[in-house]
Structure formats: structure tokens, C-alpha cells
Amino acid sequence: MLIRLALIGCGRISRRHALAMQDLQKRGRGDFAVTALCDANEQAAIERADMLEELLGIRPALYQTHQELLAEAQVDAVDLCLPHGLHHGIAVDCMEAGLHVLCEKPLGITVKACRLMAETAARTGRLLSTAAPHRRQPGQRVAHWVFNESGLIGKPLSFFHHYRTPSSPPKVGSEAVPEHVRWRQDKLMSGGGPVLDSGFHYCDSLRYFFGDVEKVYAELRSLKTGTALPFTAAPEDTVFVTFSFKSGLVGTWAWSLAAPGEEAYNVTFYGSQGSLRDTTAGSFSIFHLFERKPDQKESARLACDDGTVYTMRQLEEMHRASLSPVEEELLYPGGATDGFSIEIWEFLEILRGNRAAPEIDGWEGMRSLAVGDAIYESGLSGEVIYVDEVLNGARSAFQDPIDAHWGL
Ligand SMILES: NC(=O)c1ccc[n+]([C@@H]2O[C@H](COP(=O)([O-])OP(=O)(O)OC[C@H]3O[C@@H](n4cnc5c(N)ncnc54)[C@H](O)[C@@H]3O)[C@@H](O)[C@H]2O)c1
């Protein structure tokens, strides 16, 4: 069954989606076609159409608004790669028009936006899947296996994550700010700063490893001016969070994109019988746990109490050896290890009836987002915040202006 896809939003991440689609086709998993593209910026749509035609051999039809696309294009599903504030409105319009939706992270801009999307999926019977590639990549699959199945470090107890990555030079004047940065600096369009953007991956990965977070306490600062501005005065570039999980596990996430001085990369998870530690340097490593780039020298290792040490490569081999052929195909379809390829393939397989449900449906996407919003609610109030209170709307002061802006 050929599935016809539309790509809505042809900016930076859509390029990775296009490459992932080519990866799937090269692996003989090409039973889909991108037949329509939509972007408010005509040039962005033309560039992506050129790329997709070259990679996949079909030139999609171009639209500048999603309403035109919904009225004219013959498609089964959409892949949304839009600024965060546009996710819920366009996803709901697509589902109401009968289309299935794969939506880039974070699922919606606030908990209310996510809830609207998940409820619409349930009411219309459409598939809604959250595109979050990191937990689907080998590093995190291995870490999940270490914590939950291998028995190698016993019961997970705690984690200490400390990073300081190089800060990028400040942009001067509005002319110098590219569009993909500009909308990220507008809270009403982004929903928050790094904690909610790439931080969504981090929160989602923690939930993947250890289940739901019960409560958080967070201190957020902006250090780039040379003064420790509080979160109420400037967006965060430096964050200190303590997480308590419903399982009893506790952990800290302390990072800065702006503190002067030495870089630091230290991700350590402790279990009752050992630890799993990653000190691999990388610009996004504060958010992307165990993400090994092909050209990167990896420094992750597992140390058991009895003195045994395993490299991440050895752990990956042990994990792969533990999988049945069916499990192997589910995790790494056709040998794919790119999280974007895997999330797109999962979506297509559900549409074909070969899989039951997405790994991160609308409700799961909402729960991962709620951890990030709990961090903001704590930073704003100075209080410990229970994630369930963010989910049920009892704590929403940070999100209220965003919800009011979007009429949620
Ligand atoms: N999975 C990942 O690792 C990852 C990485 C980066 C970004 N993302 C996510 O991907 C999404 C897009 O981010 P990006 O970096 O590609 O942003 P971007 O700014 O590069 O691209 C967004 C595109 O949407 C278009 N657009 C804006 N309004 C529109 C509208 N009303 N209708 C149609 N098109 C419209 C813009 O013209 C632009 O081309 C975000 O949700 C972001 O968080 C995910």
C-alpha cells in the first residue's frame, strides 16, 4: 500500500526528514511517496522540493498554506516540521480533514495544546505520533536495556548530569537573527527556551529510561550578560533541576550554555551495583543523551562494582545479541539506526496495520512536555512542582499567557 505524505514546514529539520526517507528507500522500505509540500516561505518549499525530487525521484506539489493543501492535495498523512506554536492548530485541522499526523517535538506548545491534539486524535480516530528520534537511536536503546533489562548495574538509583558547552557569540541587531532563531526567542511561538526545545528530548529520554517524574525543583538563570539574571528577567541559558521520579529515583540536571570558563561533559547514572557514565563532548550533549555522531570518539562506559568495565560499543553488541529477529526489526527496521528513519518507518507501519500504536503517541508527548513545563513552573514560582499538577492544569502560571495568546 503506497502511503502519500505531505511535508508541512520545509525548514531545517525537514532536511533530516528528507534524508531519513531516502535512507528508508535505500533499505527497500520505500512504499511511500511525498506528494505535497507546504511552507509559508515559497523559497523554502522550492528548495525542499528540489531535494526530495533528487532523493526520492518524485517532485511534490507545492502549497503556501496548509488550508490550500488540505483542499487540493491527495494525501493520507502529514509530517509536521513547524514552529511550536503552529503545531496544535495545523495538526488539528489535518486530523479533522481525515489525515494522520506525525508531529515534530515538542508535541504542542503547552500542555493544553498537547491535550487538544491528543483528544482530537482520539475523537477522529486519526494516528498522532510524536517525532522524537533520540530515544529511538542505538545509544538510548542500549541505555534503556542497561537500566531495565541487563541487570549489569542493579536497580537504578540516581543520576548526576553536569554540562557546560561553548556559548555561541551574541547576535547583533534584529537583521542578524535568522528566522529559525527569531521564532525560538519569542515565548508565544516557542513555548520556552532550551528546556522546552531540545530539552524536550532530555525529558522524554528520562521518562523512557525511568518512568514518570513525580516532582521537580528548578533554578533558572541567564548568565550571558555577566550578571546572574533571574528567569523572570531573561530566558534561561543556565539551569539547575532536581528530579524525583515516582519510582523513588532522584537525579540532577545542571547545565549552562553561557557560563565562562572550562567546558564540562559528565553524564553519570548510578545503579545499586555500578554506573553508566558518558563524558562524550558535543554541542547538543546537554539535551541529547548517548548521542554518538559517526565521526565522534565516544567515551561512555559502564563500571560494575566487581571491577568489570564495558565500553558502550561492547554494550551495544550485547544488547543486539539479546534481541530476537522480530525485536531487531522493530527497533532497527532493515538495519536503520537513524532515529528519524525509525520514527517515520514506525508511523508508516501503523498506517499499514503492521503495528498497533506509536511509541510516543499524543498522550506520551504531552507527559514528556509536562516535565519541561514543570521546570518552568518551578523556576517561576520558586516552589517544588508536581508534574501531575502541571498535567491537570493546577499549576500553569508560566503557560497561561501562551494559552491565552493561542485561545487555548
Ligand atoms: N528532532 C530534532 O532533533 C529536532 C531538531 C530541530 C528542530 N526540531 C523541531 O522541528 C520543528 C521545526 O524546527 P526547525 O528548526 O526546522 O524550524 P525552521 O524555522 O527551520 O523551519 C520552520 C519552517 O516552517 C515554515 N512555516 C512557518 N509558518 C508556517 C505556516 N503557517 N505554514 C507553513 N509553513 C510555515 C517556515 O517558513 C520554516 O520554513 C520544531 O518543532 C523543532 O523543535 C526537531
SS3 271: strand
Is pLDDT larger for residue 310 or for residue 295? 310
pLDDT tens for 125-138 read 999 999 999 999 99
Contact (CB, 8 A) for 244 and 213: yes
| Domains observed in the chain | 3-133+337-359 (3.40.50.720), 135-329 (3.30.360.10)
Tell me the average pLDDT across 168-192. Answer: 82
| pLDDT, position 353 | 95
| pLDDT, position 158 | 98
Tell me the average pLDDT across 73-100. Answer: 98
3-state helix, strand, coil in the chain (%, to 5): 40, 20, 35
Nearest-atom index, ligand 1, CA of 80: 11
Gap from CA of 84 to ligand 1 centroid (Å): 8
Gap from CA of 14 to ligand 1 centroid (Å): 7
Gap from CA of 45 to ligand 1 centroid (Å): 12
| pLDDT, position 170 | 58
Nearest-atom index, ligand 1, CA of 13: 16
Q: Which three cell numbers stand for residue 80?
A: 509536521
CA dihedral 110, 114, 116, 117 (to 10 degrees): 140
| pLDDT, position 281 | 83
Tell me the average pLDDT across 174-196. Answer: 89
Q: Cα(104)–Cα(7) distance, rounded to whole angstroms?
A: 11
**Confidence label for 173 from pLDDT (cuts 50, 70 and 90):** low
| pLDDT, position 374 | 98
| pLDDT, position 333 | 94
| pLDDT, position 167 | 67
| pLDDT, position 231 | 84
**Confidence label for 291 from pLDDT (cuts 50, 70 and 90):** confident
Measuring from atom 37 of ligand 1, which residue has the nearest CA?
Answer: 41
Gap from CA of 169 to ligand 1 centroid (Å): 23
Ligand 1, CB cutoff 6 Å, lining residues: 8-14, 38-41, 44, 66, 81-84, 86, 104-105, 133, 179-180, 197
Q: Which three cell numbers stand for residue 354?
A: 503492521
Inform me whether the pLDDT recorded for 295 exceeds 80.
no
Helices (H) and strands (E) in the chain, counts: 15, 16
Contact (CB, 8 A) for 96 and 358: no
Q: Is 355 exposed, middle or buried (0-12, 13-18, 19+ CB in 10 A)?
A: middle
Averaged confidence pLDDT in the chain: 94
| pLDDT, position 174 | 55
Question: Residues 150, 152, 157, 159: is their CA dihedral positive or negative?
Answer: negative
Percent residues over pLDDT 90 in the chain: 85
Q: Specify the range with the lowest mean pLDDT, choosing from 45-59, 166-180, 190-204, 364-378.
A: 166-180
Nearest-atom index, ligand 1, CA of 184: 19
Tell me the average pLDDT across 366-393. Answer: 98
Mutate to test the pocket of ligand 1, among 8, 10, 12 (most ligand atoms within 8 A of CB): 12
| pLDDT, position 407 | 98
Inform me whether the pLDDT recorded for 397 exceeds 70.
yes
Nearest-atom index, ligand 1, CA of 179: 19
**Confidence label for 275 from pLDDT (cuts 50, 70 and 90):** very high
| pLDDT, position 140 | 95
Mutate to test the pocket of ligand 1, among 37, 39, 70, 90 (most ligand atoms within 8 A of CB): 39
Q: Cα(184)–Cα(72) distance, rounded to whole angstroms?
A: 31
Measuring from atom 21 of ligand 1, which residue has the nearest CA?
Answer: 11
Q: Cα(101)–Cα(116) distance, rounded to whole angstroms?
A: 14
**Confidence label for 269 from pLDDT (cuts 50, 70 and 90):** very high
Contacts of 267 (CB under 8 A, 6+ apart): 159, 161, 163, 277, 278, 279, 285, 289, 290
Mutate to test the pocket of ligand 1, among 14, 15, 82, 84 (most ligand atoms within 8 A of CB): 82
Inform me whether the pLDDT recorded for 294 exceeds 90.
no
Inform me whether the pLDDT recorded for 175 exceeds 90.
no
Tell me the average pLDDT across 9-33. Answer: 96
**Confidence label for 171 from pLDDT (cuts 50, 70 and 90):** low
Q: Specify the range with the lowest mean pLDDT, choosing from 155-159, 161-165, 293-297.
A: 293-297
Gap from CA of 346 to ligand 1 centroid (Å): 21
Nearest-atom index, ligand 1, CA of 104: 41
pLDDT tens for 203-262 read 999 999 999 999 999 999 999 888 888 888 888 999 999 999 999 999 999 999 988 888
| pLDDT, position 285 | 73
Gap from CA of 10 to ligand 1 centroid (Å): 7
Inform me whether the pLDDT recorded for 342 exceeds 60.
yes
Gap from CA of 336 to ligand 1 centroid (Å): 24
Measuring from atom 34 of ligand 1, which residue has the nearest CA?
Answer: 39
| pLDDT, position 225 | 80
Inform me whether the pLDDT recorded for 118 exceeds 80.
yes
Gap from CA of 159 to ligand 1 centroid (Å): 32
pLDDT tens for 23-42 read 999 999 989 999 999 999 99
Gap from CA of 205 to ligand 1 centroid (Å): 21
Please tell me the pTM assigned to this model: 0.96
Measuring from atom 6 of ligand 1, which residue has the nearest CA?
Answer: 13
